[in-house]
Amino acid sequence: MARPPNIIAPALLCKTRSDVEKKLKLIAPYVQRAQLDVMDNIFVPNKTVQPKDLRGLKTKVKIEAQLMVKDPAAHISDCCRMNAWMIIFHYESYKNKRRISSFIKQIRAHNRKVGIAINPTTPAAKIKPFLTLVDLVLVMTVKPGFGGQPLIPATLKKVKQIRRWNKTIDIEVDGGITARTAPLALNAGANVLVAGNAIFKAKTIREGIAALKARFK
């Protein structure tokens, strides 16, 4: 069984709808996917634009909504109205096998892809029971909440574990991904790289994305 293809997903850590729309226009010529960071200032100490503010969002870029929130279920309908292709929730939001399984079914009922995320301090074994129920696992390689943090190397051990358990699932890494750290993540078994500053603070968007894609070789 072949490992899934490598993908770049720019991180959209935005406070307003206009900022989301601006960044989507910048990246649209170069990528097919992007990750929207949704924060509620409860689950993490920061707040971003909310799905309810993005209803009817139009873009050819596939949006995966990462719900870094206390109650992910409250955002499902709005994620659908903003045309999110995938909904990613954090294991730490529920920590209960029955509630997590039920939530995954809720997302599936809306015909959306499903991802489950774990924070740097959460063991990979916590999400092992759900690997056959989701489309993607997101291993946070920094503490969620703010961009610009350096990658925590120990988190890549979890990527290796998950890849050993499942050869075909998408494994995404988010936090501190640069042209320097991308090979570390890819070699560990990740195939979806989320990057913010490495793209949006590059000399040009095109060059930032190209520098990351060059690491696929």
174 catalytic residue (yes or no) = yes
- CA 202, CA 210: separation in Å to the nearest integer? 10
Catalytic residue among 37, 71, 78, 135: 37
pLDDT in tens, 83-138: 999 999 999 999 999 999 999 999 999 999 999 999 999 999 999 999 999 999 99
Catalytic residue among 40, 53, 71, 174: 174
DSSP summary character for residue 201: T
* 12 within domain boundaries: yes
* 217 within domain boundaries: no
**Cα pseudo-dihedral 70, 116, 161, 12, rounded to 10:** -90
Domain, as residue range, for 190: 7-211
- Return the pLDDT at 147: 86
- CA 92, CA 95: separation in Å to the nearest integer? 5
* 73 within domain boundaries: yes
**Domain of residue 144, CATH code:** 3.20.20.70
Counted domains in the chain: 1
- CA 8, CA 77: separation in Å to the nearest integer? 26
* 1 within domain boundaries: no
- CA 215, CA 143: separation in Å to the nearest integer? 24
61 neighbors 28 (Cβ within 8 angstroms): yes
- Return the pLDDT at 3: 82
* 110 within domain boundaries: yes
pLDDT in tens, 27-51: 999 999 999 999 999 999 999 999 9
pLDDT in tens, 152-168: 999 999 999 999 999 99
170 catalytic residue (yes or no) = no
* 216 within domain boundaries: no
* 155 within domain boundaries: yes
* 141 within domain boundaries: yes
Neighbouring residues of 214: CB distance < 8 A, sequence distance ≥ 6: 179
